[in-house]
Structure 1
Amino acid sequence: MPNQPREQWGTRAGFLLAAIGSAIGLGNIWRFPAVAYGNGGGAFLLPYLIALLTAGLPLLIMEYTIGRKYRKSPPAAFRRLARPAEAIGWWQVGISFVIATYYAVILAWAVRFVGFSVGQQWGADPEGFLFGDFLRVAEKPGAMSEYVPGVLWPLIAVWVVVLVILAFGVRRGIEASNKIFIPLLVVFFLILVVRALTLDGAEIGLDAFFSPDWDSLTDGSVWVAAYGQIFFSLSIGFGIMVTYASYLRRRADLTGSALVAGFANSSFELLAGIGVFATLGFMAASTGGEIGDVSGGLGLAFVAFPTIISEMPAGAFFGVLFFGSLVIAGLSSLISIVQVVVSAVQDRTGMSRPVAVFGVGGAVAVVSIVLFPTDTGLYFLDSSDHFINQYGIAVAALASVVLVAWMVRKLPMLQRDADATSAVMLGHWWKICLGVITPLGLGWMLVDALRQEFDENYEGYSTGFLLSTGWSVVIGTLLIGILISLIPWKQADKDAQLDQDALNEGKS
């Protein structure tokens, strides 16, 4: 089948909204506030900003440049850099496949909690409601024994929406939906934050969030947390930005786009921190207590916030805004994650977009629907998410940086390509960051994570369970990526010629 003409974004604003929509996800709302609070409060913003400037933005610019230059999904784009590097691209596709399967489930929960907020159906015990009445979680990990209809049906609805949007294509589907999603998300969240700031006790929460612990800056784990937050929140390291940039026009401003997307993402994280802690301050004032340890993730969103919503005036309105924001932020991110898989298969097989979306995207949906809306789905989700985030994304990002900066030494070529169309020129800092600081930051983060991993089993799960649902997922995506990269494809001869052209261009 002949190659389809490459789709393009309709406008630069459309691309930026899609990139920002991909970066702003569930983690911005429930992960950043807890990470910042637990790592020095206001003082954390310094290592966070340094991590953004020395690792996040440089890596984002590198992925934009690779995507636009080669106008392909990650496997084909990395193949142009070096034939064996195609495995890194398929590895990233595998990571996106895994993340999409469970990310959609959390969206399904948020959809249900929009409705639960109206009547505050979680009652006086939101934790018992979440894990018992709603998710029906089994007492311990093991074989699934029942499906949970209250999760299954909204999950199917989420997948229908995602696949329909993707089927419309890059411009009429992804770009058009993000032109609705992102302004709506900003409006929702601004109203939510303003409401939170007017609550009694909001200043208690803000004081807890922003009070700096300057001594924490001498703690290496705080810097590891800052780099980790940047890598996980910018959608870098698992192929999304390479894929999105492949639909850019040749003269698109890469550096300026990366700066806008990067700082927009960080600004939203800061806004989320203000909203979350103003709300937690209200709860502390209502109960006469203090803001103690704040855990992020599911506990913050689906236990702590329902508890607070039940106590505040007009809580139903606040709950609809909060969980509605989670749904919108999650949808824009999920669409970008599935697009990585769809684009990679399209590039390799020449499939039409509808066939790729409903065939390959449908396969992701089927895995999601089979595994996760069950009484043991939460355990699978927790383990898979922990390992794929800690080791899959980080190691894949490290491998891509080492390949480009150290092995094929294409940073000077990529810098020339970016500078040719960008308003902000990349200086020596960009090559120093990618050649030294980013690899060291990622490496340090991985060593620290592994040290903690071997000290004690994650969440006290059995070694067998972690091996079967965590480590096997991470290692499996890598092995599958390598195996797929070894399969001969119909367009191998054409790709080989393109590889040679790229090599000659790099030497010139």
Structure 2
Amino acid sequence: MKREQWGSRTGFILAAVGSAVGLGNIWRFPYMAYENGGGAFFIPYLFAMLTAGIPFMILEFTLGHKYRSGAPKTLRALNNKFEWLGWFQVMISAMIAFYYVVVIAWAISYAYFAFTQAWGEDSNAFFFGEFLGVADDSAPSKLGSLQWHLLLPLCLAWAATYFATYRGVKGGIERINKILMPLLFVMVLLLIGRIIFLPGALNGINWLLEPDFSKIWDLKVWSAAYGQIFFTLSVGFAIMLSYASYLPEKSDINNNAFMTVLMNCGFSMLAGIMIFGALGYMAQAQGKDLTDVVSSGVGLAFVTLPTAINLLPAPGIMGPLFFCALMFAGISSHISIAEAVTTGLMDKLGWSRPKTATVFCSVGLVVSSLYITQGGILLLDLVDYFINNIALLGSCLVELLLVGWLCRLSDFKAHANRLSEFSIGLWWTVCIKFVSVGILLIILSNNIKTAFSENYGGYSNFEVNTLGWGVLALMLVLAVVINLNSKQEVRS
């Protein structure tokens, strides 16, 4: 059966950028820069982009294009003992898909609330109390009742992903990203164009960009920069391998990788200007220091920004634009995460695309309903921490060790260079074999040490061991069992 292909180079790049540009670009990058030296953070960030982001993206585009398969079959082609890694990456994507979609559902709800600022004056109490229904005794292991008002936006978010994966690469994913990505960039530029003229906005942007060069020598800042690059580019968990497997035979791999990474990092910069411009205005309007109004993660997107929107001129226009931007960024990423799982299952089981998309999205809707319960946000927080800080980084590290040290890296370099307008050389080899591996070892070992020495978020030992370490162990065991089963099928 002939493999699908992207309809155009633009469609592929927009889809790849759509995967990389997600909710994390809008809320995580600005806060990471602010917390790690402001403008000085961009030095290690750009270094990480050149030594880890672009080389890793070239590697995954090359592997996907060369082997024409999702992660499990590609890694089995490299070394049949490592098919388990491909399935582990597919499971990482599935786990992320199950909870990431819930944040999109929140954004859909807030895009509607923003027309009337339905969150009122106390956006914190509204978000955690009225909207999510978090109770005093809520916990990851005590989920409580379903929040029924979240079921419709959750279904809408899954419906968008289902449409894209059901229709396929050219008719679904490419078509949706050709609409969503330009719209997302236009929305962010419109918001920046309005925000920078607000009083105090330039002070906020200055807070973000003002360099604190004393932090350049802090290893934590370098670790944060590399961590942000790995988190934001969708490498190491089956997505880019899947997308690249649908590239036409004659595709400029090196150029495509450079453009994808640069557009993603450029969007992160735009998002930082937008967010900190709004926070600067908010700080001046409330007569506070910016340090008293800024917060990270969910607190920034669904608590701090609604408070800022209350203060903005024409909040009924600016507010929906903010949350539509969040929604579009989330949907484009969620589609790519679902496609990583779908491609792996189609390659393994031989199912049709419609059947695979239907089964995965149906199971996904049921599982993700766990996250719209009273304790759902706490479960999401705990699972996300272990998936992103340990499973994902561990997956990246093992993949780099496999390709860089157990395979002939020169073969992949030759494959990429044969198709590209410009060639990669010693820089790429050194980055893959030494720089990225070394940095990942430092970050991952520190994360594992921290996870063992202190219970993340103050959760109980039972919750950390079962829903954190236990889930990772189960994923690993399942991946190995599938690998062993594949070997038996080959022998028989």
Fold-level similarity (TM above 0.5): yes
- What's the counterpart of residue 198 of structure 1? 197
- What's the counterpart of residue 52 of structure 2? 55
Deviation, 1:458, is 1.3
Deviation, 1:48, is 0.1
In the TM superposition, what whole-angstrom CA distance separates every residue of 1:298-355 from its partner, at most 9, and x where no partner exists?
0000000001111121112111111000110000000000111111110011111101
- What's the counterpart of residue 416 of structure 2? 418
Deviation, 1:490, is 10
In the TM superposition, what whole-angstrom CA distance separates every residue of 1:228-256 from its partner, at most 9, and x where no partner exists?
00000001110100000000011100000
Deviation, 1:455, is 4.1
Matches within 5 A, 1:214-363: 214-292=213-291, 294-363=294-363
Deviation, 1:28, is 0.2
- What's the counterpart of residue 34 of structure 1? 31
User: Gapped runs of 5+ residues in structure 2?
Assistant: none
TM-score by length of 1: 0.94
Q: Is the 8 A contact 1:144 1:376 kept in 2?
A: yes
| 1:124 and 2:121 matched | yes
User: Gapped runs of 5+ residues in structure 1?
Assistant: 497-508
Deviation, 1:52, is 0.5
Q: Return the letter of the residue paired with 1:303.
A: V
Aligned-residue Cα RMSD (Å) equals 1.4
Q: Return the letter of the residue paired with 2:471.
A: V
- What's the counterpart of residue 480 of structure 1? 478
- Residue 77 of structure 2 is aligned with which of 69, 76, 80? 80
Q: Is the 8 A contact 2:254 2:420 kept in 1?
A: yes
Deviation, 1:469, is 1.6
After the TM superposition, which of the residue ranges 132-141 and 225-234 deviates more from structure 2?
132-141
Matches within 5 A, 1:4-153: 4-139=1-136, 140-141=138-139, 142-153=141-152
Matches within 5 A, 1:394-409: 394-407=393-406, 409=407
Q: Return the letter of the residue paired with 2:96.
A: I
| 1:435 and 2:405 matched | no
Structure 1 SS opposite 2:419 = coil
CA distance in 2, matches of 1:164, 1:22: 16
Deviation, 1:164, is 1.6
Structure 2 SS opposite 1:118 = coil
Q: Return the letter of the residue paired with 2:485.
A: I
CA distance in 2, matches of 1:355, 1:491: 23
Q: Is the 8 A contact 1:388 1:473 kept in 2?
A: no
In the TM superposition, what whole-angstrom CA distance separates every residue of 1:54-103 from its partner, at most 9, and x where no partner exists?
01111111111000000000000010000011111000000000000000
Deviation, 1:198, is 1.3
CA distance in 2, matches of 1:453, 1:305: 30
CA distance in 2, matches of 1:488, 1:52: 36
Structure 2 SS opposite 1:389 = helix
| 1:365 and 2:365 matched | yes
CA distance in 1, matches of 2:289, 2:467: 37
Deviation, 1:491, is 7.6
Q: Return the letter of the residue paired with 1:415.
A: K
Deviation, 1:283, is 0.8
CA distance in 2, matches of 1:295, 1:456: 22
Q: Is the 8 A contact 1:341 1:361 kept in 2?
A: no
Structure 2 SS opposite 1:247 = coil
Deviation, 1:361, is 3.0
CA distance in 2, matches of 1:304, 1:248: 41
| 1:457 and 2:471 matched | no
- Residue 471 of structure 1 is aligned with which of 469, 476, 482? 469
CA distance in 2, matches of 1:488, 1:412: 28
Show structure 1 runs of 4+ deviating over 6 A.
Answer: none
CA distance in 2, matches of 1:87, 1:490: 14
Q: Is the 8 A contact 2:295 2:304 kept in 1?
A: no
CA distance in 2, matches of 1:476, 1:199: 51
Q: Return the letter of the residue paired with 2:337.
A: I
TM-score by length of 2: 0.97
In the TM superposition, what whole-angstrom CA distance separates every residue of 1:359-414 from its partner, at most 9, and x where no partner exists?
12322222112x1111111111000011100011100000000001112x221100
Structure 2 SS opposite 1:372 = helix
| 1:182 and 2:181 matched | yes
Q: Is the 8 A contact 1:94 1:480 kept in 2?
A: no
Deviation, 1:199, is 1.1
CA distance in 1, matches of 2:8, 2:21: 20
Structure 1 SS opposite 2:172 = helix
Structure 2 SS opposite 1:475 = helix
After the TM superposition, which of the residue ranges 62-71 and 439-448 deviates more from structure 2?
439-448
Q: How many residues align?
A: 489
